Amino acid sequence: MRQIWILTCLAVMISVSQTIAADQARIAETAESKAEVLEQDAAADGGKSLPSRSEIITKPEAQAVDPVGEELLDDAITCLSRTIYWETRGEGASGMEAIANVVMNRLGHEGFPNTICEVVRQGREQGACQFSWWCDGRSDDAEEEESYAIAKEIARKALNRQLPDRTGGALYFHQRKVTPSWSTEFSKTVEVGEHIFYKPHGGEAK
């Protein structure tokens, strides 16, 4: 009798776990679909129009996408979250938000691609790339759950157009400890956290 009870409990637990996993997958799929529409709108009009309530990605939806930071970089939320995470891991929210601003400012801007993943992966994976974490030859998997969850929340707000631009329309940035030759070709906009931000002379990001 006891053995039957144990087997029944195990069967129930497995069934519940499968149901939860399926629900999380559906929530993540919804978030990814919303993000695709939001990035297309941002690329088309430069983020001028605000999304409707039904178009906005919710916090549970964003957190359901790539829950442990190991999935492929093939959707807007994951690509933006990993960029925020790896470029500013250990910094405060303002530094993380500024990196999100640059990615969103580049989206659809002349000279940059029209999707977040293409913006992040612009250039070669080894050597000349736009974001150092993408071409450093190391694993792209997130390592710190709490920091990655914060990055995903910032990515969600950026896609929802709920994130103020801390960078003044910047399209470029570099760490404070380096001075790349290209920095003299652009106008410095602001310093946030460990990074300095720039935009083209005489123009805002559209």
> Which DSSP string do the residues of 17-72 spell out, in sequence order?
HHHHHHHHHHHHHHHHHHHHHHHHHHHHHTT-SPPPGGGSPPHHHHHHSSTTS-S-
Domain ranges of the chain: 2-199
Which helix (H) or strand (E) segment holds residue 101: the answer is helix 93-106
**CA end-to-end span of the chain:** 70
Which position has the higher pLDDT, 145 or 46?
145
Residue 4 has a pLDDT of 64
Model confidence at 78: pLDDT above 90: yes
Which position has the higher pLDDT, 93 or 9?
93
Residue 25 has a pLDDT of 84
Cα separation, 100 vs 136, whole angstroms:
20
Which position has the higher pLDDT, 156 or 108?
156
**Arithmetic mean of pLDDT, 120-126:** 70
Instruction: From 178, 195, 206, 198, select the one nearest 89 (Cα to Cα).
Output: 195
**Arithmetic mean of pLDDT, 184-191:** 94
Model confidence at 9: pLDDT above 70: no
Q: Summarize pLDDT for 130-163 with one digit per residue, the tens.
A: 787 877 778 889 999 999 999 999 999 999 999 9
